[in-house]
Homo-oligomer: A and B are copies of this chain.
Amino acid sequence: MKQYRVKLGVKLSLKQYDPDETGEYKKSAQGKNRAKAETAKLIAKLDGLQERLYANATRSLLIVLQGMDTSGKDGTIKGVMSGVNPQGCKVVAFKAPSDHELGHDFLWRVHREVPRRGQIGIFNRSHYEDVLITRVHGWVSDKVAKRRFNQIKEFEELLTENGTAILKFFLHISKDEQKERLQARIADPEKRWKWSSGDLEERKLWDDYQKAFEDVISATSTICAPWYIVPANRKWYRNLVVADRVVNALEDMKLKTPPAPEGVDFAKLKIV
């Protein structure tokens, strides 16, 4: 799944990534079932890896999820992380900043929420909104946005140098797929509570958003905090790609069972 990693130093073009692609899995019930079985295996692995991460409490993992409305940020969390022990997993959904938060620089509220050592932290939206929605609507100038690209890079470097691995996922859906998903929300009375008329307004800005994503992803793809463009039209393939990368990142840490406390003679210990 490494293939979805954004290359460094090249301007990203989202058009070159097919949101419908499913890799070696056929777009059929059979392909879907194979992918789901593979994902289940990865999730089972995740369980043990997360336990080790938590036990050692020396490293942490930060997962950033971004994408257009309906791209499946919530669904990815549910689909990939629902088996994980919630004690070692912290999800933060960033909404519009409060007045209190706006009284600080844009990374302030984000820094407070990064995972502690031993934790997997998941950002459902993130500091990237501060160069996406803000930029598309012209709330910040291009000059400020570009300065923020650098600030983000340096912030993420700080985190990785201090033991946090970072994975950033752009959940890539097509404009048609978004249309279908929004229409499903309208058609099903059980789903209508999810409806927000703002989504329609944002959809009109589709091209601007794609461009803003291309800009910031190009500028903030680094070795230590890579971006992945995840084909997300098929939920089952999206989950497989994300699960694969999360397992890979944890395996890369090569964590072992933590050492026993020093100075204890276990052979002589007696409990009465």
Contact = CB atoms under 8 A, between A and B. Distances in A.
A85 interface: yes
A108 interface: no
Given A186-B269, A200-B271, A271-B183, A193 B261 contact: yes
B91 A87 contact: yes
A258 to B, nearest CB: 4
Most buried by B among A83, A85, A183: A85
Contacts of A183: 271
A185 to B, nearest CB: 9
Contacts of A90: 86, 90
Given A193-B55, A257-B193, A260-B193, A85 B82 contact: yes
Most buried by B among A87, A197, A259: A87
B87 A259 contact: no
A34 to B, nearest CB: 23
Most buried by B among A47, A86, A200, A259: A86
Contacts of A192: 260-261, 264, 266
A74 interface: yes
A93 B87 CA distance: 8
Contacts of A203: 271
A81 interface: yes
Nearest to A51: B78
A186 B264 CA distance: 10
Contacts of A182: 271
Given A78-B87, A81-B85, A203-B271, 12 more contacts: A47-B82, A77-B85, A77-B87, A82-B86, A87-B124, A193-B257, A193-B259, A193-B261, A195-B260, A195-B261, A197-B261, A197-B264
16 contacts: A55-B193, A77-B86, A81-B86, A82-B86, A84-B86, A182-B271, A183-B271, A189-B260, A192-B260, A192-B261, A192-B266, A193-B258, A193-B260, A195-B260, A195-B266, A197-B264
